[in-house]
Structure 1
């Protein structure tokens, strides 16, 4: 059967399916683009964060909270997320294994990527390091 011999109903159905497929593809692509383009600046430690700041990349059920970075004596940095109810969750193994916080995976939503929030947590750690380096006197020769 060629396109010219199809019934009007078959053509309408084919057009509808093609339109729906295109809509789904465009919606999926725009969410991925949103996830790539939305990335807040880390300016403080702790740093308030919201789902709106991360767009489609927001990985958690609570839509806001606070990301913190604390140094530990042996393993580096414990990165945590504090939910609006005050409960603290581990964003990395140091916070989970050494500090004993439950994993943020327990409050993960159905979309988004946890690595985005973990990477942001590492940037929050960098804020303190940068401030410390700026306040340290330079060594004299």
Structure 2
């Protein structure tokens, strides 16, 4: 039996008993779903607005990675700078097993892992230990810069490799 908004409807439950339900203002259980969607949308907007400054800096302040190792500083990345030291060096080291270890060297000379290869194969502590406690930024921007440094390193090796010859 179908009901119109504001009327009661009846339907059989699995155990055979009747279940009566009143549909207020034409909503058939969708009110909670719509409220949840609205809440999620509102929270997403707040989070996006809160992170706008760092996200804008992460997009607009993107220094070119041209050599390995390469210096990088907080001014270059703006609000996307995630660590306490205001500068450092990012390097890419080829490893025997897994490819490339991406390493951040702090001004005091201590090295930190920007990827799992540097942590697992080189035994370096994670750069997450350098993260400023008051910062809400993540390490992704510094890690992406490290990946660019590795790409510059791989490109250098590809240019110096002999080209294959046709037999």
Fold match by TM threshold 0.5: yes
Task: Check the 8 A contact 2:66/2:152 in 1, yes or no.
Answer: yes
Which residue of 1 is the match for residue 97 of structure 2?
A: 74
TM-score (norm 1): 0.76
Structure with greater helix share of residues: 1
What are the ranges of 5 or more consecutive residues in structure 2 without an aligned counterpart?
1-47
Residues 140 and 89 (structure 1 numbering): CA distance in 2 closer, same or farther, change over 3 Å? same
Instruction: State the number of aligned residues.
Output: 117
Which residue of 1 is the match for residue 146 of structure 2?
A: 121
Which residue of 1 is the match for residue 108 of structure 2?
A: 85
Moved more, 58-67 or 29-38: 29-38
Bigger Cα Rg: 2
Aligned-pair CA distance for 1:94: 0.8
Higher RCO by CA contacts (8 Å cutoff, separation 6 or greater) = 1
Task: Check the 8 A contact 1:58/1:111 in 2, yes or no.
Answer: no
Which ranges of 4 or more aligned residues in structure 1 deviate by more than 2 Å?
Answer: 25-32
TM-score (norm 2): 0.65
What are the ranges of 5 or more consecutive residues in structure 1 without an aligned counterpart?
1-24
Which residue of 2 is the match for residue 29 of structure 1?
A: 52
